[in-house]
Structure 1
Amino acid sequence: MSAPTEGKREGSLEAPTRHPLNWQEADFYDEQDLFAELERVFDICHGCRRCFNLCHAFPTLFDAIDESDTMELDGVPREVYWQVVDHCYLCDMCFATKCPYVPPHEWNIDFPHLMLRAKAVRFRQQGARPRDRLLSATDTVGRLAGIPVVAQMVNLANRLEPVRDLMETAIGVHARAKLPPYQSRTLYRRAGDRQPRAVEPRPAGPTRGKVALFATCYGNYNEPDIGEDLIAVFEHNDIPLRLVGKERCCGMPKLELGDLEAVAEAKAANIPQLLALIEEGWDIVAPVPSCVLMFKQELPLMFPDDADVARVRAHVYDPFEYLMLRHRDGLLKTDFAQPLGTVAYHVACHLRVQNIGLKTRELLELIPDTRVHPIERCSGHDGTYAVKREFHEISMKIGRPVVKRVEQAAADHYGSDCPMAGHQIENGLADGRAPEHPLRLLRLAYGI
């Protein structure tokens, strides 16, 4: 029998809370206990169905129930449960925007964390297929593909239709999925040894006025121009900036795979490095929302008693969040030299769940003669989901409303804080127009 859609809710006026992920406890990996919780939560979801229009996990569950003999969860075979898990890419939007039963509700629903637990159980039992290990090994692949001659060969191969058809057959990477280019001149090769400008840091609000840039795997190996744009914008605003130095992948690709031990290894490498910079007075900024979220939310939930993780969390910022915090104290330069016209701006899911507001839109709207059309829907990319053979077409369907909104805006520019989401939109538009990251747009407006 399905759970009712209405029920007693303790503390219904309280803000949603997130419980720590108890991944280091033995019963976390107990499959019988996992399936009992899956059945409990899926039955409640069946009775509610508010999330039907988010990712494909919910339609998969609801269609299976509706097509079963009983039209209840007890008529759904367990293999469907794993299909639901596969379609969850941990965007967190159901928890953040839709579910009425998140803590402190007595039903205590955290759908993304339940899906993460299922992924972790399966990873511990079965490991991962070679393709998924390859796609999540961002540091290793980036270093190899970033070798000058290798980068040219990889990028050429990714553009050749016969090669892409072979990749789809051999390893399961969809032939029509847009793959990011690899750069031999990575951000660290371009700017790794640069010295911060000799400008006295000016604190404002919680910001201390000097920044260490966590380049991210994507920002280093795939689109280093984003990092260069960030550097130019921050230096224009008299913010001394350096690169972090010995950084590793934040761990988000491994988290999505359910490889929590690999996430812990990345944390063990990154947190001491970031903490040392913070102790020297630097704030940390990263240009990819998923990486910021990793340090702001995922690692603190995995390691709730780790004081170093908590300290890093307090000093990690999205770049537009950082600039707008300084704008409150009059420290953001508004000497814009060029209007942007109309901007179709996709708000990345991993930025929305940070609960910082639409800081990118707020800043771009400071530019004279600039109109920003925010699009708060999922692009369907999720880092690796959109490039997998079995999920690509579904990912494009999820992103279709975003593409339609961009088309309707007839904008002079379009883009997303998440560069991969931007290219997912580009793939849907199929008109040759390339996305422009908001940092690039801001740099254009400054004329620098």
Structure 2
Amino acid sequence: MSVIRRAPDRPPATSPNDERYLDPRDLEAELRRTFQICHECRMCVGYCGSFPELFARVDRDIEAGVAEGAEALTYEDFKAIGDECWQCKLCYIKCPYTADEHAYELLDYPRVLARERAARAQREGIPLVDRILGEPQLIGELGSGVVAPLSNLVQASRLLRKVQEKVTGISSEFPLPELARKPFSSWFAEHSPAADAGKHGSVVLFATCYGEYNTPGVPEAAVRVLEHNGYAVHVPGCSSAGGDPRDAETGRLTCCGMPNLDGGDLDAFMAKVKENVALLLPHVRRGRKIVVVGPTCGYTMKKEWPEYLHTAEAREVAAATVDMMELLVQLGREKKLNREFKKGLGTIAYHAACHLRAQKIGFPGARVLGVVPDTEVRVVEQCSAVDGTWGMKAAHYETGRKYASKLVRGVADADVIVSDCTLAGLRMVKENGATVLHPVEALAHAYGLGPTPSLDPKS
């Protein structure tokens, strides 16, 4: 048995607000303690490549007679183990040794590896691939709109993608999302709210970077569905036709920051969190919920913003944040959900995204779509191994495909494939050759609201 104690001397540092967070010795001790407990348990061996890497390196030292457990692991071991973690958070959900389970070990495997990545970035700098992938909003601003056709032509070129991979480290095989000719905010500025919008109150829509610049059909469907269910929709920095002109007088929301956190760029992450909290707080204090159409952004806003910023304002915003389909489930409980559907959806394979599961709110999209007549929902609880940026990297592409194979098989033979996660959808598009919808797009189709994506049944 290892000489490493299972119980921490004091609660582990979980954010930069703790002076120990970037301290090398404290971090090294916490990594070893965490890895020792995981090595003794081994329950999570199949979740990602990080655990097999960890177990192999600890076993190596034990077999060599230089350690009884994780005490001989080196800095290079920590890096290799951390590089195979794509922050799906599933190990935390299942772990019996966490604070959520009231365990004295206070284990948080994904959080300590995020801490390792931040400390590594401080020591070695942030790699180019993480600098690029950490700024989806900037990429969207530069590549969408009038230049979108050219941007998409470049992305479609196999030769140019190969060159890009060599220079940037972004996989030439991963299907990057197309850039929109008309970003969501441009559509919203021209949109006239539905007649019933506002009878149940108002909400703020966090469209996400991908919703704004890559998949505007998702937040557009969200607006239609929310208005159809009696909500007025506000978008900071953008007023709709006939909407509140004060919305246009504020700054625009920026990225949730998770891509920066993936690369260990704490400064960029914190700057974005502070900017977003300042913009959202006045809406929250007017009693508005913040509705998010992406589970990674929703998780980040609920879990990471208050932890990293550590202010009452960040906690206030986090408490007001809800997933798009989570809000509709709440409406259903209150008997306020509009159930006048015009179309059935057939057999749906619903991918339960990891960052949705990490929020511990169940599968709200599956529950809402399940009330649509002539619709059968099959939940597929498998990981896409993308994690926003990890699966896009050339170094991890094939590993990601391997771990996503259960998902790829699980969504086969359905009339409609649905996922709350845009990037997980891209993985399925690549591997299955199928159309993948966000659940709110499928719901808008069932309601018969406006133009909807093609629901191309699998043959």
> What TM-score, normalized to structure 1?
0.90
Q: Distance in 2 between matches of 1:313 and 1:422?
A: 26
Aligned partner of 1:324 among 324, 329, 352: 329
Q: Tell me which amino acid in the other structure corresponds to 2:54.
A: L
Q: Distance in 2 between matches of 1:200 and 1:3?
A: 63
Equivalent in the alignment of 2:353: 348
1:421 aligns with 2:424: yes
Q: Do the aligned partners of 2:171 and 2:393 also contact (CA within 8 Å) in 1?
A: yes
Q: Do the aligned partners of 1:2 and 1:44 also contact (CA within 8 Å) in 2?
A: no
Kindly report which structure 2 residues correspond to 1:258-407, keeping only aligned pairs within 5 A, or say none.
258-304=264-310, 306-407=311-412
Q: Distance in 2 between matches of 1:43 and 1:114?
A: 13
Equivalent in the alignment of 2:453: none
1:101 aligns with 2:97: yes
* Residues 200-250 of structure 1 deviation map (CA, whole Å, 9 limit, x = unaligned): 7455xxxxx311211111100110010111111111112111223210111
Q: Tell me which amino acid in the other structure corresponds to 2:385.
A: G
Kindly report which structure 2 residues correspond to 1:229-244, keeping only aligned pairs within 5 A, or say none.
229-244=221-236
Q: Do the aligned partners of 1:215 and 1:244 also contact (CA within 8 Å) in 2?
A: no
Equivalent in the alignment of 2:149: 152
Give the SS at the match of 1:213.
strand
Q: Distance in 2 between matches of 1:211 and 1:116?
A: 32
Give the SS at the match of 1:26.
coil
Equivalent in the alignment of 1:89: 86
| Structure 1 vs Structure 2 CA RMSD | 2.2
Q: Distance in 1 between matches of 2:322 and 2:130?
A: 29
* Residues 120-140 of structure 1 deviation map (CA, whole Å, 9 limit, x = unaligned): 111112221112101111221
Aligned partner of 1:213 among 196, 200, 205: 205
Give the SS at the match of 1:332.
coil
Deviation at 1:300, TM superposition (A): 1.3
Q: Do the aligned partners of 1:361 and 1:374 also contact (CA within 8 Å) in 2?
A: yes
Q: Do the aligned partners of 2:89 and 2:358 also contact (CA within 8 Å) in 1?
A: yes
Q: Do the aligned partners of 2:140 and 2:213 also contact (CA within 8 Å) in 1?
A: yes
Q: Do the aligned partners of 1:198 and 1:240 also contact (CA within 8 Å) in 2?
A: no
Q: Distance in 2 between matches of 1:89 and 1:326?
A: 34
Equivalent in the alignment of 2:29: 36
Q: Tell me which amino acid in the other structure corresponds to 1:290.
A: T
Q: Tell me which amino acid in the other structure corresponds to 2:438.
A: H
Give the SS at the match of 2:231.
coil
The number of equivalent residue pairs is 427
> What TM-score, normalized to structure 2?
0.88
Q: Distance in 2 between matches of 1:2 and 1:379?
A: 35
Equivalent in the alignment of 2:165: 168
Q: Distance in 1 between matches of 2:152 and 2:3?
A: 51
Q: Distance in 1 between matches of 2:231 and 2:73?
A: 57
Give the SS at the match of 1:411.
coil
Q: 1:195 to 1:282 in 2, by over 3 A?
A: farther
Give the SS at the match of 2:436.
coil
1:433 aligns with 2:434: yes
Q: Tell me which amino acid in the other structure corresponds to 1:358.
A: F
* Residues 287-321 of structure 1 deviation map (CA, whole Å, 9 limit, x = unaligned): 001111122111111233x1211221221111111
Unaligned runs of 5+ in 1: 9-17, 204-208
Q: Distance in 1 between matches of 2:441 and 2:12?
A: 37
Equivalent in the alignment of 1:65: 58
Unaligned runs of 5+ in 2: 238-251, 450-459
Deviation at 1:198, TM superposition (A): 5.6
Q: Do the aligned partners of 2:256 and 2:297 also contact (CA within 8 Å) in 1?
A: yes
Moved over 6 A (4+): none
Question: Which deviates further from its counterpart, 418-427 or 186-195?
Answer: 186-195
Q: Do the aligned partners of 2:86 and 2:385 also contact (CA within 8 Å) in 1?
A: no
Q: 1:31 to 1:330 in 2, by over 3 A?
A: same
Q: Distance in 2 between matches of 1:195 and 1:283?
A: 21
Q: Distance in 2 between matches of 1:19 and 1:340?
A: 47
